[in-house]
Amino acid sequence: MRDHETQIQEAGATLAAIGLGDANYARLFREETGITFPLLIDEQRRAYTAADLRKGSLLHLFRGDNFAARKEAKAAGHRQHTLGSDPFQLGASFVFAPGNRDVFAHVSETFGDNASVVTVLAALADRGGTGEKKKGP
C-alpha cells in the first residue's frame, strides 16, 4: 500500500500504519523504507484486539495463494523485513472517515490476502461506504 501513497493522497485521504513489535523494529522499518506517513506501535495489541484481527497458522504458510503473493511481492521489489513479535498475526486495511464512519474494511484471512489498492481507491471515490466490505466469517 505504501507504494500508492500518492494515489491515496490524490483521492483526498492520508495513509497510516500500525505494527506490532517495539520501537526499534518500527524505527528500522521507517529508515529502510523511507516512509513519512504515521507509523504507530501496538506492542500490547490493543488496536489489533479491538479490530478482532486474526492469526494465521503454519498450514497457511504452505497455501498456494501465500506462495503466489510472496512471489508477486518479490517481483515488485519488496522484501520481507523483520517479522516482529508475532509472525502469525494477520493484517487488515481500513478506510475510516470523519465522524467515525467505517468506509472500507479488508481483514486478511491468510498471509497473502491483502486489500488491492484498486478496491481501496474505489472505496475512497465512493465515500458512501458501498465499496468492498470484506470481513471473514
Partner 1 sequence: MNLLPVDFDGITPPMSPDTLSAALAPIELPDPDGQEVRLGTLWEAGPVVLVFLRHYG
Footprint on this chain of partner 1 (rule: CB under 8 A): 1, 8, 12-21, 23, 25-30, 38-42, 46-48, 50-51, 53, 78-84, 87, 89-98, 100-103, 105, 108, 111, 120, 124, 127
Cα-based torsion angle of the residue sequence 26, 29, 35, 39 in order, rounded to the nearest 10 degrees? -20
What's the closest the beta carbon of residue 16 comes to partner 1, in angstroms? 5
- Residue pair 70/112 in contact (Cβ under 8 Å)? The answer is yes
Pick between residue 71 and residue 81 the one whose CB is nearest to partner 1.
81
CA distance 54 to 52: 6
Pick between residue 71 and residue 78 the one whose CB is nearest to partner 1.
78
Instruction: Give whole-number Cα distances, 121 to 8, 10, 51, in Å.
Output: 7, 10, 21
Pick between residue 17 and residue 63 the one whose CB is nearest to partner 1.
17
What's the closest the beta carbon of residue 64 comes to partner 1, in angstroms? 18
